[in-house]
Amino acid sequence: METPPIQRALVTGATGMLGSYIVHRLLADGCAVRAVVRDIARSEWLASLGVQLVRGELADAASLRDGAAGCDVVFHAAAAIGPATAWEPFRAGNVEGTRHVIAACAHACARLVYVSSTAVYGDSRYEHAPVDETAPLPVLPDRDAYGRSKQEAERAVLDAHAEGRVWGASVRPPVMYGERDRQFVPRIAVVLARGIFPLIGGGVTTLPVVHANAVAEGAIAVARTAAAGGRVYNLTRDYPLTVADLVRFAAVGLDRHIWTPSTSRGAGRALFRALALGLTAIGKGELAGHAFGTFEMLTHDNPFSEARARHELAWRPTIVPETGVAEAFRWWAAHHRSTNATR
């Protein structure tokens, strides 16, 4: 059963990569769009697209209520992210901020689609592959502040739905890429720009990454599917993408040749161990803590199943990696020196 068409929607995090793709998809469908933004002046590019800007932030419950008023759906894509381990910033941004969004949706009688993350599965995801939405969520260690906060925020949305306070559903993307990417593409691009990228085991591992446009399409499909209320959807595999594929398509976007010597798993592990030690030595211990996670990602196939989304939402992503990866790295090459590139 489908819900009525979305007439007006609020998007939090609209200046970010995923939020901007949600905005573009909604506008293309003829929907009126609002965005809650901290800085109106730096968000004028959204206004130029026809988006109504509301000054506010997740900590400001009143601005969220104003933004949600008269909306059919709220897409909550804003989040505190990063490698930090301190709990309070993530609790305030992701947990309390989501509670404010829930309250705004309840006041406006708006449906809520919450953007969670596969981080809720923790480090055990590779041990229990394939991982679908029925997998019990583990108790995460204190150091995984981001994953813990996404678990708690997602639980708040689903509890609010179960209690009848809002119609709510959650989507769980893995690492995302696309134009305006501030995380994945910039970190990989600075390495690839050197012209060499060793492929552990030949680079045949399929990566747990997805194009942000595919996640936007899935999130909108959730909002339009009445039966999706109270459900969670892994939007985790739009198309298979190996490490070797990623480097090959990125090279097209960067317009340069990249040497890809094959290396053994043991040599790769030693390389990442040295990287972690180096980061620790220069005072970047939080980043060092994620080095082994990156190694795991490069050496284990995508563990997540997206079968529920394909079956219940008819999720059929439209941008193939050959196009999407090249465009994402081409955009980075053109914009990474601009201070206004991702605003």
- Tens-binned pLDDT, residue by residue, of the chain (343 aa): 566 679 999 999 999 999 999 999 999 999 999 999 999 999 999 999 999 999 999 999 999 999 999 999 999 999 998 877 899 999 999 999 999 999 999 999 999 999 999 999 998 777 778 999 999 999 999 989 999 999 999 999 999 999 999 999 999 999 999 999 999 999 889 889 889 999 999 999 999 999 999 999 999 999 999 999 999 999 999 999 999 999 999 999 999 999 999 999 888 888 878 877 876 787 766 666 666 677 888 888 999 999 999 999 999 999 999 999 999 999 999 998 543 333 2
Residue 138 is assigned to a structural domain of this protein: yes
Residue 162 is assigned to a structural domain of this protein: yes
| Interatomic CA distance for residues 140 and 148, integer angstroms | 6
> Which residue numbers are catalytic?
146
Residue 251 is assigned to a structural domain of this protein: no
| Interatomic CA distance for residues 284 and 282, integer angstroms | 6
Q: What is the reported pLDDT for 61?
A: 96
C-alpha 214 chain-centroid distance: 11
Residue 294 is assigned to a structural domain of this protein: no
How close are the terminal C-alpha atoms of the chain, in Å? Answer: 37
| Interatomic CA distance for residues 176 and 16, integer angstroms | 12
258 phi-psi bin (left φ>0, alpha ψ -120 to 50, beta other) = beta
Q: What is the reported pLDDT for 194?
A: 87
Range of the domain at 62: 8-181+208-238+302-319
Beta partners for residue 200, in sequence order: 263
Verify cis geometry, omega within 30 degrees of 0, for the bond prior to 174: no
CATH number at residue 25: 3.40.50.720
CB atoms within 10 A of CB 18: 26
Tokens of 199: 């492929």
Please return the burial class of 19, using the count of CB atoms within 10 Å of its CB with bins 0-12, 13-18 and 19+: buried
Q: CB–CB of 263/198 below 8 Å?
A: yes
Beta partners for residue 191, in sequence order: none
Q: What is the reported pLDDT for 295?
A: 81
Residue 253 is assigned to a structural domain of this protein: no
Q: CB–CB of 172/151 below 8 Å?
A: no
Q: What is the reported pLDDT for 337?
A: 52
Three-state DSSP state, 38: coil
3 phi-psi bin (left φ>0, alpha ψ -120 to 50, beta other) = beta
Q: CB–CB of 297/207 below 8 Å?
A: yes
Q: What is the reported pLDDT for 341?
A: 36
Q: CB–CB of 111/220 below 8 Å?
A: no
Q: How many domains does the chain have?
A: 1
Residue 30 is assigned to a structural domain of this protein: yes
Residue 270 is assigned to a structural domain of this protein: no
Residue 283 is assigned to a structural domain of this protein: no
**Residue whose token pair is 């059919």:** 72
